[in-house]
Structure 1
């Protein structure tokens, strides 16, 4: 049974998450480390959120594209991605207002 560890990139489907698994391999000629990422559809019965690090296990085919199950939640991000987006938007708006005030003076 294969087990992989990755980060959840999408939770928009019912009982399904998209897990991105990143691996590093060495280029055969140049010997440089190359980053490779692959996305897997996994069956989700846990309460998982975007950005969580999880372990997935290979199983029998559940649907046409789903052949993996989430088994274990390893860690959650310190700040949720949706919260991070709102914080960034607020700071951009504040800085834009400050620059407009400086220009109009």
Structure 2
């Protein structure tokens, strides 16, 4: 059986769930500034596939890289790490 390569996994917060079977996940990372040598927060938004529409705004989710599912969707929700209150 052929093995797949390692797929990127990131953890972020759901910021929008208005679309059907799609959520927008905001991922935050720390990057060291070249000149000041301080750490700066960088945020990126990913459109992720949510098959059963289980994600709510504020949920912390794990997403995995996948094949392109539409023009903007290249990720899918792996699991909900923490539900929003």
Same fold flag (TM > 0.5): yes
Cα separation, 1, equivalents of 2:84 and 2:74: 26
Q: Which has the higher contact order (CA 8 A, sep 6+)?
A: 2
Following superposition, the deviation at residue 69 of structure 1 comes to 0.2
Higher relative strand content: 2
Task: Say whether the 8 Å CA contact 2:56–2:84 is kept in structure 1.
Answer: no
- Map of 1:4 onto structure 2: 10
Number of corresponding residues:
78
CA root-mean-square deviation: 0.8
What runs of 5+ residues in structure 1 fail to find an aligned partner?
79-105
Higher relative helix content: 1
- Which has the greater radius of gyration? 1
- Stretches of 4+ aligned residues off by more than 4 angstroms: none
TM-score normalised over the length of structure 2: 0.88
